[in-house]
Amino acid sequence: MSELEAIIRAEIERAGPITFARFMELTLYHPQLGYYVGGEGGREPVGWAGDFFTSGDVSPLWGWAIAKQIHQFWQALGAPARFDVIEPGAGRGLLAAAVWRYALALDERWAAALRYTLVDRAAPDAPLRARRAARLDAELAAIPAPPDAVCWADNLGEAASDGPITGCVVSNELVDALPVHRVAIHGGQLAEVYVALDERGAFAEWLGEPSSARVASYLDAYGVPWRGYGEGWRAEVCPLAEDWMREVAGIVGEGYALTLDYGASARRLYTRERPAGTLMAYARHHLSERPLARPGQQDLTAHVNFSALARIGAEAGLCVSRYTTQARLLRALGAPEQAEQLAARLFPHADSERHTDRGQADYLRRATLRNALAALLDPRGLGGFRALIQRRVEEGFEKR
Ligand SMILES: C[S@@+](CC[C@H](N)C(=O)[O-])C[C@H]1O[C@@H](n2cnc3c(N)ncnc32)[C@H](O)[C@@H]1O
């Protein structure tokens, strides 16, 4: 039995069944042993050598497009002399490097205004964080970005310790990694799914009353007609995502939040057609059906309720300026045209010298670039991710 498994079992033995959110908190974020802290071996969980990849792994085109979007935010704010980008859930810092590459190549004034802060729960003293920071520093030095191009913070409050920012908070696949509660219809009532120990001492599901009024009323708050769904219907609810959005709104003084993730509006997420919810476990690029297995060694994730982010943001003055798919956003930002320009520049012999080695190599590399773009735009894959842009609005009128 792993050390983390023993810690979770001890907590259940001591206090009784724990919510799935607590289980997820411990498996993903235990300060020394959690999955996103690097687990017991300190390994990198994200990327081709890890358990799952994200858009930034697929192609630099993604980072280029998101950097362009952030640059447009700066322009829309009137090109302020200081522009903060705060990235919660920054992971390896792929986007930070892309933003700096874009700024230094295309707009020196923006580069001079840019302050980039990465926020991640992988603790500062975790070997994983140190390795990520060293890798990012080397990449930034090669661009070359200024020595103080990025800084790291442990939470949003620390990232905005000077007060609310002018700029944006951008995140990719962060909200899907926030601990969720699981609810289920049981005897016509809404029950919560807890994690308990079975008679053999293994982790097992246990149904009980909702652990809080917030969990109990969450689906009703978003108008989900769950009472009409059948016995056994399940879903994940994430009050933490609401808290996170409120915190984001609290640090954006002037500017934007851009949230990229898989998910949908409450109306599309919590349907009769999804009777088992959206909880997924990932290990080594395989989907697992066993979320309670191997704590700390597999990712746990659930689709994001974008209605919650939109509603909580609006309550705090961050109003939706665009809600779309990643594919549409990338197209609007010109990713397909950028891919063809890059291909023409980097692989000039792809058409003219197909009979030579050089021409064949260019032809293959261009195909790889085009395939990567297709993956980013695939509506059944990364292209189907949602992109939510919210903007600070004061007292019913936009500042600019
Ligand atoms: C799925 S990974 C995505 C990493 C990166 N954004 C990417 O696209 O490759 C989610 C990341 O969010 C971090 N995370 C989770 N909860 C967080 C929180 N409340 N604040 C900051 N980071 C958090 C995790 O440690 C993890 O690195």
Total structural domains in the chain? Answer: 3
**Does residue 228 belong to any structural domain of this protein?**
no
Q: What pLDDT sits at residue 283?
A: 82
**Ligand 1, from 28, 36, 152, 180: best to mutate by most atoms within 8 Å of Cβ?**
36
**Does residue 229 belong to any structural domain of this protein?**
no
* CA 109 / ligand 1 centre spacing (Å): 30
The whole domain housing 340 covers 333-377
Nearest CA to ligand 1 atom 10: 174
Residues 217 and 170 reside in one and the same domain? no
Residues 105 and 134 reside in one and the same domain? yes
Residues 68 and 112 reside in one and the same domain? yes
Model pTM score: 0.96
Nearest CA to ligand 1 atom 24: 89
Beta-carbon contacts of residue 260 (< 8 Å; ≥ 6 apart): 55, 66, 170, 171, 172, 173, 326, 385, 386, 387, 388
Q: Which two tokens mark 48?
A: 């081709």
Residues 272 and 392 reside in one and the same domain? yes
Q: What pLDDT sits at residue 46?
A: 87
**Does residue 227 belong to any structural domain of this protein?**
no
Residues 212 and 315 reside in one and the same domain? no
* Ramachandran bin of 78, using left for φ above 0, alpha for ψ from -120 to 50, beta for the remaining angles: left
Residues 306 and 176 reside in one and the same domain? yes
* pLDDT values of the chain reduced to their tens digit, one per residue, 400 residues: 899 999 999 999 999 999 999 999 999 999 889 999 876 667 888 888 888 899 999 999 999 999 999 999 999 999 999 999 999 999 999 999 999 999 999 999 999 999 999 999 887 778 888 899 999 999 999 999 999 999 999 999 999 999 999 999 999 999 999 999 999 999 999 999 999 999 999 999 999 999 999 999 999 999 999 999 999 999 999 999 999 999 999 999 999 999 999 999 999 999 999 999 999 998 878 888 899 999 988 999 999 999 999 999 999 999 999 999 999 999 999 999 999 999 999 999 988 888 899 999 999 999 999 999 999 999 999 999 999 999 998 754 344 3
Q: What pLDDT sits at residue 40?
A: 62
**Does residue 189 belong to any structural domain of this protein?**
yes
* CA 381 / ligand 1 centre spacing (Å): 20
Identify the CATH number of the domain in which residue 281 sits: 3.40.50.12710
Residues 323 and 368 reside in one and the same domain? no
Residues 90 and 165 reside in one and the same domain? yes
- Give the residue from 221, 242, 275 where a domain finishes: 221
Residues 125 and 265 reside in one and the same domain? yes
Residues 303 and 262 reside in one and the same domain? yes
**Does residue 35 belong to any structural domain of this protein?**
yes
| φ, ψ of residue 70 in degrees (nearest 5) | -65, -35
Residues 171 and 259 reside in one and the same domain? yes
Residues 199 and 280 reside in one and the same domain? no
Ligand 1-lining residues (CB < 6 angstroms): 36, 46, 54, 56, 88-91, 94, 119-122, 172-174, 177-178
